[in-house]
Structure formats: structure tokens, C-alpha cells
Amino acid sequence: MKTLLKNIEQYSIVLASQSPRRQQLLNDLGIEFEVLVKPEIEESFPDSLPMTEIPIYLAKHKATAYQEELTHDNILVITADTIVCCDNKVLGKPADYNQAIEMLQNLSGKAHEVITGVAITTQQKQHTFYASTKVFFKDLTPQEIEYYVTNYKPYDKAGAYGIQEWIGLTAIEKIEGSYFNVMGLPVQKLYTELLNF
């Protein structure tokens, strides 16, 4: 399938993510790419960063692991990081069952923000952007939270949930912004940014 992104056809595109959701979304854009995942990169950030800058900082940090690939001038690397913010706290990926339960208890009955930062990097330049989506959860019962965590094991997801899973169907009352951003990649914005890259 041919892409409309003629301006990036000169590049071999690398998606630096093992997330099957990001891989599927990029594939659905009609972009040919390869997945290359480096060893786990420390996802720490300075405490002083504003919320919207945290995922951009982490996406840029991930890109530094691909310096070897970027010695070739026809390589374009896409890195991304998604965070969930609730009550001015950043919720990362839960370490275990109990932490996942606790995160979902915190999200229950509230609105929270999902922010994805993306870095597009070549040998010559780097461009970054972010997208933000507001997500509204209904009040969750303890049984619903336990059912979801037990059956879906959301330990690889920021905020301990995936919008495309059972909890998205049953618990999310509405969203303001990009649905796909909550999945982990704001593809509409990425498409626009690649058109202008």
C-alpha cells in the first residue's frame, strides 16, 4: 500500500517501541517500518518538569539509544512515551497487582489526562510534539477493578488500563481529545507532523 507521505519515502523508518498497539496504529497509517527495541531504558525524569514536557523528555531520552542507527542519513526513528496524570500525580506502569488496583482506585470517578510525547529523529534533526486527552471514568466497584486487573493484567500500561480493553468499554464515560492518543500514539497528529517534517 502506498502512503501519501511522499516526503519521508527517502527514509527507512524505525519504530522504537515494543507496544503492539503503537505498531498496529503506525501500520494502519500505511507506513512501512521496522521495529527495533533497545534494552530497557530508564524512564526517570526531573521533578521540575511540567506535566506536558515529561513524555517529550522521555521520548527524546529514548531516541539517544539509537545513535548507532542514526549514523546513516536515511534512517528516521520514532520514539514515544505516554503518561497518565491524575490529581497532579504521574501514574506510570504498575509494578504489580496491588499497584494496578491502587491506580484504578485513584482513577475511579474522576477525570484524568493522558499525554503522549513523540520524537521524530534523523541524523540531521529532531522534532518533538505531544498530544493530550482528557478521560472521564465512572465510579468503579472493587469487583470491577479486581476483575479487570485479574483478567487483563495491565502491567505494561501507564495508569494500569488500556482504553481498547474491557475497562474502556464499561468504565469510560467520555473523552476529550484523541482516542488513539490514549492507546499510546496520537496518529492524526503524527501524520500531520510527518507531512511537515
Residues that are catalytic: 81
Q: Distance between CA atoms of 163 and 160, rounded to whole angstroms? A: 10
Task: Tell me how far CA of residue 99 lies from CA of 9, 17, 90, 161, in angstroms.
Answer: 43, 24, 13, 12
Contact between residue 160 and residue 91 where contact means Cβ atoms under 8 Å apart: yes
Give the end-to-end CA distance of the chain in Å, rounded to a whole number. 21
Q: How many helices (H) and strands (E) are present in the chain, helices listed first?
A: 7, 7
Contact between residue 100 and residue 159 where contact means Cβ atoms under 8 Å apart: no
Q: How far is CA 65 from the centre of its chain?
A: 18
Q: From start to end of the chain, where are the E strands?
A: 12-15, 34-35, 75-86, 89-91, 111-121, 126-137, 172-176
